[in-house]
Structures are given as C-alpha cells and as structure tokens.
Structure 1
Amino acid sequence: MGPAKIAKDQPDAGLRSLNHYANSLPLWRYWPRQKLIPLVRYETPYLAWLQEKVRTPALDSFFAFTANLGTHTFFMVFLPFLFWCGHTSLGRALVHILAAGVFISGFIKDLLCLPRPLSPPLQRITMSGSAALEYGFPSTHSTNAVSVAVYGLALLNSPDSTVPSKTNLLLQIITYLYVTSIVIGRLYCGMHGFFDVVVGCILGAMIGFAQFSYGPAFDEYILSATWLEILVIPAVILILVRIHPEPADDCPCYDDSLAFTGVWMGVDVGSWYFTTSRLAWADPLPGTIPYNYEQIGIVGTVVRLVVGVLCVFAWREVTKPTLLRILPPVFRSLEKLGLLLPRRFFTTASRYTTVPSNLKDHEVFPNFSDIPTFITTIRHPRHRAVSIGPQSEADAYETLAYREKRRRESLSGGNQDSPVGDSRKPNGRPVLNRKPSKLDQYEGMMGTVNPSVGNGEASLRPPRSSAFPPSTNDRTGTADEREVFSQIKKPRVRYDVEVVTKLVVYAGIPWVVINVAPPVFELIGFGVTLL
C-alpha cells in the first residue's frame, strides 16, 4: 500500500459536519473555545478598518520583512553563531527562551484550536504564499519577540552589564523597535487579533523574566549534573512531547513544538557533555566554546561560521533520509505489539510501505536548497504576497461556522446581518438606523470567500459585501463546504516515523553545533585552545 493510496483513503475535509470542533474536541477544550470565539469575531471588523486606514506599499514591505525576524527559522539560523563566537551562555539562554515560547504557545494553539481573524475582510500580508497554516491564539511571533526583548533588556539593565553606556542605550533602542515592529506587524499584516498578541506578549514577558531570574541556576544544574541527573532532561522532554494536545485540524504547531523540544534537549545534554572536552573553556561558564577574535580575525570567524553551518546541514541531510528509511519496519513491529501511541493526522506504519524522499516539510531549520530563496527574501523586502480567503482547515471551518451563525440569526430574529441595522446587535456591536459604515461593510464580508484577489498588490479598498441570504437547508450544504475548502491547499500525508525523525534530527543539531563543530574548527586550523 503506497503513499498515493493513503492520500485517497483520507476523508475529504469539506464533507465533515459543521459541528467539527464539537465532535473533535472533548468538552473541557470545546467549552473555552466557544467562549473565546465571539471575541475573535468581534475584533475582526476593527482590525480590517485599522488595516485599511494605515496601509501603504512601504509599510506592507516593512512589516512583511520584519515578520521574518520573529520566526523560528530566523533564530534557528543565527543562534549557532552565538555558540561559535564565544557567547555559549547567551546562546543556551535564547534556546531555552524560544523553546519554551514555541512549545507553550503551540500547546495552547492546539489545545483551544482558535482560528485567526477571518479573511476577508482582512488581507494577509506575508513574504510567502503559505501563511496562516497554524491556529491564531496566542501569537507565537509576539511570544518570541517579547521574550527575547525582555531577557535582553534585563541583561542590559543589570548591574553586572559591561556594555558601554552609549552602546547599551543603542541596543535598548534597537530592542524596543524590534519588538514593537513584530507585535504591531502581526496586527497590520492581518495575521492576528489584539487578543492573540496581548496574550502572546504576556506569555513572552513571563518567559523572558523567568530565564533572567532562574536561568543561571538552571545552567549550574545542567553543567554540574551527573549522568543520571542529566537524563532528567530527555525524560521531561519526551513527556512533554507526548502530552502535547492533538489538534482538531491538521496544524503544524506540533511540528514546531517537537523541533524546539528536540533543540532544548540537544543543547542541554550537548553542553553537559562538552564540559568534559579538552577544548571547553571554564570562563565565563563551564562548557564555553573557545573563541578569540584577536587570534582568529574576521576571515577566520567567517570560515568558522561557514564550516559550522555545513556541518549542521550535513547532519540533517544524512540523518533524516536514513531514519525515514530504517524506521518504518521498526514501527510496524512495535505497532503489532501494541507499543505505539499514534497521533491524529499521522499515518501509521502499517498503512504504507515507504516514505517518499521528496517530502515538503514545515521545517524550522531551512533545507540547503532553501538558502537561495532565503537570501533572495532578505535582499528583496518588497517581495510579498497578499492573500484573501481561507488558507487552512481552521480558516475554512471558521468561515463556514460564521456563515451558519449569520444564517441562523437571520432566520430567528430578522436580518441581523443587514449593513443597515435596526438597533439590533450583530456580532455584539450596536447598530443604529444609519447608512452602512465601514465596520458594517467589513462585518458583512466575514464568512465570504473572495479568491478573486490573489498574490500581489491587492486593492486597499474592500469590495462592498451584503449579508448571506437565508439557506433553505437546516445547515450549510456541502456545496458551501466544497466552495470554501476548494480555496485551501490540502495538507500532505504525514507519517508516524516523522515524529521520531524530527526529534532526533533537531536534538542532533545543537549536539553538532557544540560537540562536532569545535573539533572541526581545530582540525582546519581555526580553533582557539588557549584563553
């Protein structure tokens, strides 16, 4: 039974009931979701109004570009440089911060399955054509940016800071500009609502403060641990991976959480092991990777970085296909013994023979073939995509649910969806007898599908939209479902062996950064052995 057969056996998402979340989630998860959905819907017209008022081509390019600075990929690409340039302690702290932020925010996203604000009326602005694949609440970009900013500002304002005063002030200004552009950009780009970013900011502030307050004690535990004590880290990581909630839709949040928990495990176990190496420095902390700019210079530093990155890519390019080839028969044997705990949306090994070699992954660390595209994106910030309409399963279900909500309101209490109100309160907002306002027009667009505006420069003026006419059926028909689901790209088949593969590959990346790259630097003549 091959991969193609598996794909055909999957039920068409567009044929599922509109009670999708009630059927997919236990009551203790469904209840808070239903309590928070009205807030997401209430915010949407205001977000669309704000977006239209301030949008310009220049701001589109700016916020689409700066959004890259808050992604997991950005940090994963540049974090190894801190380790190889002598800032091992800072690099480890940022790994802890980002791993905690990505895992906790992903945990909440998959727990509650709250959608992003609807598009239309919002236009989603990104540097790529594949945005909004995850749930909306909370904003992981905001969590990442605020956690890093809070930790960085705490270090700069610490009495122990050795940064010159003028440099310190400049770094603080840059930090404030950075975090402000990320958070405001999430709203401007139509990717999140106010509630998403506020909770993301609170979560990020708590994580940054916790790392600053308790990070040194945690480092001391890691670097001085016995081999039994260090095993606590992978044990806790595996428990966290297992208890991560299963989403109602095929959402990549779990992939990101899995990758960063692997990175956390690898950086702590790798740092602990490196403290026993003859190359390790004890200052400023045990396990510091040797680096001295005066000895190596700019050329040597660049060579170290290039060689280190090549080591990381070599690890993944070899390990990933190897595991995907050897794990399926192992998983089939374990499945027969009843020793596997399958996850939703991951096909079990008994239902396929091989894993395709050309899988299109949601990767936290880019593939080697993605580097030209990554560089092009950085060099051409004006390149962006503007999308209107549902992009994910969560988008599609929310579009249908809101459409059904308005239809039922229309049948039960007059046409509450009319842009010209009669003192009723559609979506919780009072509407008086008057001409339709922009907010009314935006509210009328919610639940529609407008594929006519694709990538490129979309109109800044929204089309006028009327309310949905009442349906003659008891629920939105399959024709409506097919209309909405036809706009989204169906996720590919996912295989159970990918979970272990991703965990091993991403746990190995920091191991390569900390324990493989330094000896390679030494071998090619760009190491530093004396302090």
Structure 2
Amino acid sequence: MRELLSYLHEPELVARFQRRCGLFLVRDPHHGPQRKREHAADEPRAQRNGRWDHQDKNSNYEIQQNGCAVNFEVRNRFLHVLFLVSAALGHEVFYITCLPFIHWSLDTFLCRRLVNMWTVVMYVGQVMKDVLKLPRPTSPPVVKLEPRVDAEYGLPSTHAMDATAISFTVLLSAPSRIQFQFEWGLLIAVTLSSLVCLSRLYTGMHSVLDVLSGVLISALILSSTYPYWESIDRFQLSSSFSPLLGVFLPLLLSYSYPQLDHYSTTRGDTTTILGASGGCWVGYWVDHQLGGPLHPLGEKIPARLPPLTLNSVFRGGARSLLGIVALLGTRQLVKTLSLKALFSCYSVEKSDPNARRRREIEVPYKFVTYMAVGLVNSILVNRGFVLLGLL
C-alpha cells in the first residue's frame, strides 16, 4: 500500500500526463539560462541565438516561478484551453458568479444546499492540507501553471473536493425541485467533476494522490451528511439559534485555523469561504422570516425548466449582470472600509505590503467583507429584481 501511495504521489506521473496532453517543460529554472530538455526525442525545436524559432504550430510561453522564468510549450491548444477553463471552476470568480446565479435564476433552495455543502467540504480540505503538509509536485519535471498557490500544501485537492461536492449535491437535491432526466444529470455531474480533477494534473498543481484523495473525502462527506440535509434545512430556516450559529461558528473556525511557519493563502481563502457562508446562512434565515424566498421557477415544485427563449436569455443575462455588479460593489465597499478601520485600530501603514497577511487584520476584513456579500446575495438581490421586473 505504501508503495502504491508513493507511486501516485510521484511528480513524474503528473509530468507524463502533461506531456500526453501536449504540455512540455522546455527549460529548468534552477539552472539559470541553461535550458533543460524534457524528452529531447519528442522535441522538434532548435534554439537559435538564444531565441526560439516560432515557425511551427506550437506555442511557447513563460511564467514566473520563485523569481525565475519558466518556459513551457503547448502543443494541443484545445486541451490547454479546456483544462484552464476547467481549473477556473474552482476559483473565487466562479463561486461569486455561478453560485449566486443558481440563486437568482434557478432555485434558492439549491443554492442554499450548495453553499452549505461547499463550505463544509472546502473547510475540511483546507485544514487537512495544512495539517498533513504534503508538498505539491515539484518543477521540474512538472510544469506549474498557477504559481500563486504554489506555497500551499497539496493533499487533498480542494478543486477535486468542491467539484465533486457541487456536482453531486445538485444531482441529489435537484429531483425534488426540478423535473429532469436523472441519467443526463449524472452524465453532466461526472463530466464536470472529471474535467476539474484532470485540470489539476494538467496545471501541475496536484499529484494523482491529491486528486483521488479529494474525490474520496468529498464523497465520504456527502454520503455521511446526506441523511441529515432535510434536518439541517429546517434548523437553518426556522430555529431562533440559527443566526447565532451562522455568525459565531464560522468566525471561531476562521480564528482557530491552523498556524503555519510561513504565510499561505489557505487561511485567507478559508476565511473568505466561511464569511460568505455565514452571510448566506443568516441571510436565508432572515429571508424566511420575511415571508420565504422568491423562487425564480415559480411556486409549483418540482418545476419544469423554462424554455430557452430570447426573452429568458435577456432577463437571465440582466439578472446576472446586475447581481454581479451588486456583489462586487458590496465586496469593494466593505473591503475598503474594513481595512481602513483595521489599519487605524492597529496603527498599520497602508503601504506595508505584509499588513494584510497578519491574522488580526486578514481574518476580520475577509470575514466581514464576504459575510456582507453573502447577506446581499441572499436577501437583497432577488428583491431588487422584483422591483425591476426581472424576476
């Protein structure tokens, strides 16, 4: 078993997958200007006077990693774009657009379930990374396309965890809300989660062991919590203790996040998730007390998906545009005000590049900012759509 785990964690396994998909490392950043060829027999180029000859269909790119320039070659543009788009499904820009879109244009019930499960899965994954402290694949031989998160530890892959959780939470929850063919839903869930998992290998940010562990841990969380989803829904919407839990538990988890001997983005990212989740949790409780959520699909449940018409596309696009503007505006306003207050409280200069990394500043500003985003999304945005005639 140990030999199998060691094999699945090998960087060369990831590098082999990258090369099969047309992604090649063409220079070793640890040896200055001297270029290291990966599988020279497969490399058709020649370096001429220190510059690459571009007279073929392949493309060379350069990224900065640990202060060094790393060159890599893309030989399959389709797979390159496909996996980069798939990897983006696990970043903040996706969460702040896709999850609210489900709330605005599909069903508030599904969005609430998704946010709850996404939060649990991501928190478990982030904490496990910083407790286990298993490194990411090394470069070389791997090409790393996301150097921003290279300081984070690798196991488990939270991209694989959240892709699995989101896809299958929708699949398990949607039949009671929306009329659809389950087989098609299963195919879509498997396809999307698989693409995200494979993208973590292609971008060189996780080993095969990281990805498989992420999928298995997410599946374990889903299967163990599934029998209690209805009970959690009732508590969240009806209990008088629900708002207190929605604020203080995420805040406590943010402040008690494991400390590392170096700065990592995991604490800030986890606080972001917990803050947004806490805002949505409280917001859905308030929304329920005000008379219940406004269902974009109507009150007849399970509902038929509306036909795709020019009018529905326009209204959906208008809702998305206005909603995203509202969330981004809230994010920018609260972030600016909270940072200004914290810098003043702790007598920190705004020009200090490390100020935002301090726990006493990073945790409260991120938590308050994204809690405000969650509150605006779950309470105000749909009501604004009603006033504008878009819902």
* TM-score scaled by length of structure 1: 0.56
1:93–1:211 CA contact under 8 A, matched in 2 = no
1:309 to 307, 312, 324: 324
Residue in structure 1 matched with residue 265 of structure 2 by the alignment: 252
Call closer, same or farther: CA 1:201–1:60 in 2, change over 3 Å. Answer: same
What's the secondary structure of 2:220's corresponding residue? helix
Instruction: Decide whether the 8 Å contact of 2:123 with 2:270 is kept in 1.
Output: yes
CA 1:519/1:44 → structure 2, altered by over 3 Å: closer, same or farther? closer
What is aligned with 1:154? 172
CA distance in 2, matches of 1:83, 1:197: 29
Pair 80,277 (structure 1): closer, same or farther in 2 beyond 3 Å: same
Q: Matched residues in 2 for 1:79 and 1:150: separation?
A: 14
Residue number among 506, 510, 520 corresponding to 2:374 in the alignment:
510
The residue type equivalent to 2:361 in the other structure is: V
2:251–2:367 Cα contact (<8 Å) kept: no
Are positions 1:190 and 2:204 aligned together?
yes
Instruction: Answer yes or no: is 1:134 the counterpart of 2:146.
Output: no
User: Which of 248, 253, 265 in structure 2 is aligned with 1:240?
Assistant: 253
Structure 2, unpaired ranges of 5+: 23-74
Aligned to 1:524: 388
Give the 3 Å change call, closer, same or farther, for CA 84–120 of structure 1 in structure 2: same
1:222 maps onto 2:236 in alignment: yes
2: distance between equivalents of 1:521 and 1:238? 31
Confirm or deny: 8 A CA contact 2:154 2:210 kept in the other structure.
yes
Q: Which runs of 5+ in 1 are unaligned?
A: 1-34, 331-348, 360-490
Structure-1 separation of matches of 2:84 and 2:10: 21
Structure-2 separation of matches of 1:72 and 1:524: 28
Deviations 1:113-170 (A, max 9, x none): 22101110111245xx6452421111011111111233233346x6x475343xx333
Match of 2:144 in 1: 124
Contact kept in structure 2, 1:48 and 1:121, CA below 8 Å: yes
Task: For 1:306 and 1:173, locate their aligned partners in 2 and report how far apart those are by CA, in whole Å.
Answer: 29
Would the alpha carbon gap of residues 49 and 355 (structure 1) be closer, same or farther in structure 2, given more than 3 Å must change?
Answer: same
> What is the aligned partner in structure 1 of residue 343 from structure 2?
328
Aligned to 1:106: 126
State the one-letter code of the partner of 1:355: K
Specify the alignment match of 1:68 in structure 2.
88
- CA deviation digits over 1:376-407, x for unaligned, max 9? xxxxxxxxxxxxxxxxxxxxxxxxxxxxxxxx
Q: Residues 68 and 223 from structure 1, CA distance in 2 versus in 1: closer, same or farther, beyond 3 angstroms? A: same
Q: Alignment identity in percent?
A: 24
Partner of 1:494: 357
Matched ranges for 1:288-367 at <5 A: 297-330=312-345, 349-350=346-347, 352=348, 354-356=349-351
Q: CA deviation at 1:51?
A: 3.2
Q: Secondary structure at the match of 1:149?
A: helix
Residue by residue, what CA displacement relative to the aligned partner does 1:165-222 show, whole Å, maximum 9, x if unpaired?
3xx3333222211111221222233211122112111111123334533222101001
* CA displacement 1:31-70 (0-9 Å, x = unmatched): xxxx99x938961233333433443423233222211123
**RCO (CA 8 Å, sep 6+): is it higher in 1 or 2?**
1
Contact 1:102 1:140 (C-alpha < 8 Å) held by counterparts: yes
- CA gap 1:250/1:53 in 2 versus in 1, 3 angstroms: same
Higher relative strand content: 2
Instruction: Flag the 1:118–1:40 CA change in 2: closer, same or farther, 3 A.
Output: farther
Q: Contact (CA 8 Å) 2:8, 2:209: kept in 1 or not?
A: no
Superposed displacement of residue 301, structure 1: 3.3
Task: Within 5 Å, give how 1:275-286 maps onto structure 2.
Answer: 275-278=288-291, 280-281=293-294
CA offset digits 1:229-287 (Å, max 9, x no partner): 4312322212211221012221101111101111111111111011122574599999x
The worse-fitting range, judged by mean Cα deviation, of 208-217 and 308-317 is 208-217
Instruction: Pick closer, same or farther for the CA change 1:137–1:525 going to 2, 3 Å.
Output: same
Instruction: Give the Å deviation of 1:523.
Output: 3.2
**Shift, 1:224, TM fit:** 0.7
Separation in 2, partners of 1:161, 1:316:
31
- Aligned residues, how many? 329
| Counterpart contact for 1:138–1:196, Cα < 8 Å | yes
Partner of 1:43: 10
The 8 Å contact of residues 103 and 256 in structure 1, kept in 2 or not, is answered as no
Contact 1:117-1:191 at 8 Å conserved across structures: yes
Task: Report the counterpart of residue 102 of structure 2 in structure 1.
Answer: 82
Q: Distance in 1 between matches of 2:139 and 2:82?
A: 21
Q: Which amino acid aligns with 1:97?
A: M
Cα deviation, residue 328, structure 1: 2.9
Q: Is the 8 A contact 1:142 1:182 kept in 2?
A: yes
Give the corresponding residue for 1:163. Answer: 179
Alpha-carbon distance change, 280 to 177 in structure 1, aligned in 2, over 3 angstroms? closer
Q: Which amino acid aligns with 2:229?
A: G
Give 1:82 deviation, angstroms.
1.4
Output the CA distance in 2 between the equivalents of 1:212 and 1:76: 25
Check conservation: 1:102, 1:256, Cα contact below 8 A: no
Q: Is the 8 A contact 1:151 1:211 kept in 2?
A: no
Question: Over the residues paired in the alignment, what is the CA RMSD in angstroms?
Answer: 3.3
Distance 1:310 1:136, change over 3 A: same
- Provide closer, same or farther for how the CA distance between residues 497 and 169 of structure 1 changes in structure 2, counting only shifts above 3 A: same
Change (3 A) 1:249 1:152: same
